[in-house]
């Protein structure tokens, strides 16, 4: 049985109407001959619509693999055999006190320089599907330069991880996940 998940529903819900309103406002400004203001509104509207397209993609997880679609059009597809690593990564690699919450080498992703990472200090956790196994340094770079351009990813929930793990029968790596349990 295949499950479908929107990459990040909250970011989609925020960015899509904002982008539409900005485009509408830009057209309204152009109709009143405020060219620069209208073009600025349209530029920001397009930016918000691009964010909506990124986080509004649908990830299909099934027994054969994982697919990424946008408006019904398949963008990327991988079988479980093509996926080298499945992992959960917290995107905030520097915690609120200014210290590193995740170390690129020598420490596990659960420990920072100031002790265990708390859930509130890990940023947004995402589940990712990589074609190759990653090192600690690569996971650190992945979290630092989020979102990745060459991986399928979606927002973390324990239910999503459980289904992915049962479908793929692979171990789910974790990096900078604090006290998240899955």
Same domain, residue pair 24 and 114: no
Same domain, residue pair 44 and 70: no
Residue 169 confidence (pLDDT) above 70 = yes
Question: For the segment 58-77, what is each residue's pLDDT rounded down to a tens digit?
Answer: 999 999 999 999 999 999 99
- Residue 119: what pLDDT? 52
Pair of tokens at residue 123: 């940023």
- Residue 178: what pLDDT? 78
Residue 119 per-residue DSSP state: G
Same domain, residue pair 25 and 101: no
Q: What is the average pLDDT value for the chain, to the nearest integer?
A: 86
Overall number of domains in the chain: 2
Q: Cis bond leading into 165, ω under 30°?
A: no
Determine, yes or no, domain membership for 1: no
Same domain, residue pair 117 and 169: yes
- Residue 174: what pLDDT? 87
When pLDDT is averaged across residues 38-52 and rounded to a whole number, the result is: 97
- Residue 93: what pLDDT? 76
Instruction: Give the domain range for residue 44.
Output: 8-55
- Which residues, including other chains, have CB under 8 Å from residue 165's CB and lie 6 or more apart? 86, 171, 172
């Amino acid at each position: 049985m295949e499950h479908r998940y929107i990459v990040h529903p909250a970011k989609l819900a925020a960015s899509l109407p904002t982008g539409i309103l900005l485009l509408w406002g830009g057209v309204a400004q152009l109709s009143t001959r405020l060219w620069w203001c209208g073009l600025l509104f349209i530029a920001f509207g397009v930016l918000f619509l691009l964010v909506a397209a990124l986080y509004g993609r649908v990830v299909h997880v099934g027994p054969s693999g994982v697919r990424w679609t946008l408006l019904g059009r398949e963008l990327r597809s991988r079988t479980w055999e093509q996926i080298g690593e499945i992992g959960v990564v917290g995107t905030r690699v520097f915690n609120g006190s200014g210290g590193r919450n995740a170390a690129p080498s020598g420490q596990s992703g659960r420990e920072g320089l100031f002790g265990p990472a708390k859930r509130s200090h890990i940023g947004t956790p995402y589940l990712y599907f990589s074609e190759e196994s990653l090192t600690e340094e690569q996971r650190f770079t992945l979290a630092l330069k989020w979102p990745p351009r060459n991986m399928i990813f979606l927002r973390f929930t324990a239910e999503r991880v459980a289904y992915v793990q049962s479908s793929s029968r692979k171990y789910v790596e974790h990096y900078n996940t604090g006290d998240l349990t899955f």
